[in-house]
A and B are shown apart, each in its own frame.
Chain A
Amino acid sequence: DGGITQSPKYLFRKEGQNVTLSCEQNLNHDAMYWYRQDPGQGLRLIYYSQIVNDFQKGDIAEGYSVSREKKESFPLTVTSAQKNPTAFYLCASTDLQTGDYGYTFGSGTRLTVV
């Protein structure tokens, strides 16, 4: 079955560490997205990419970095510059060719600072 795989499911980060969250999709979707979810809030866009080797900042990009070296993969690095990284991170994708732009989401990674 096609879908989005996020790993790990749980991640613990020490102060000052960089950590990388993985997102892989086998849907052949062009566009991929990273969202952050905090309790009681809607999802907020961190970064997105519509084509390999290109990506754009979302609303809350500070302290995060991404790469898009392959169409299937869009890893997110949470750097030490992100002051409050504890949150639930969701990866999504959509097919830009069909025109309906329905989104598919992964199962998420919960990041906790210890």
Chain B
Amino acid sequence: KQEVTQIPAALSVPEGENLVLNCSFTDSAIYNLQWFRQDPGKGLTSLLLIQSSQREQTSGRLNASLDKSSGRSTLYIAASQPGDSATYLCAVSLYGNKLVFGAGTILRVKS
């Protein structure tokens, strides 16, 4: 059974710092991996989608990498801002269907 783990569970950083969020998964036979952002009491917003054949994706200050063989992905946030404060969720899909989620990393960026 696929399991997804996110480390750390919570992170507090000063504004302007670069940071890395980690995601690991137990079954490397994934179809894709997706990073989401969730604000308190809100739905999920898709940040980056990495297909199994890709190594990384970038969007603005965000960069996500994927290493299937080791079962790991990282989300890099450059020059963090208070508006980046949210919960970040990692999810993998085995067959392009039925996402399996990690528990998330709660990020707080202090001004």
CA gap between A88 and B101 in the complex, in Å: 15
A49-106 residues at the B interface, CB under 8 angstroms: 50, 58, 88, 90, 92, 94, 96, 99-106
> Nearest B residue to A6 by beta-carbon distance?
B43
B36 CB, min distance to chain A CBs, angstroms: 7
CA distance A32 to B98 in the complex (A): 10
State whether the Cβ of B74 lies closer than 8 Å to any Cβ in chain A. no
Contacts of A4 in B (CB 8 A): 43
Q: What's the tally of chain B residues with a CB closer than 8 Å to chain A?
A: 25
Residues of B contacting A2 with CB < 8 Å? none
Contact A102/B34 with A31-B97, A48-B97, A48-B98 known, Cβ cut-off 8 Å = yes
B: which residues have CB within 8 A of A? 4, 31-32, 34, 36, 41-46, 49, 51, 89, 91, 93, 96-104
Beyond the given A100-B49, A108-B41, A108-B42, please list 4 additional residue pairs across the A-B interface where CB-CB is below 8 A. A35-B101, A44-B101, A103-B44, A105-B44
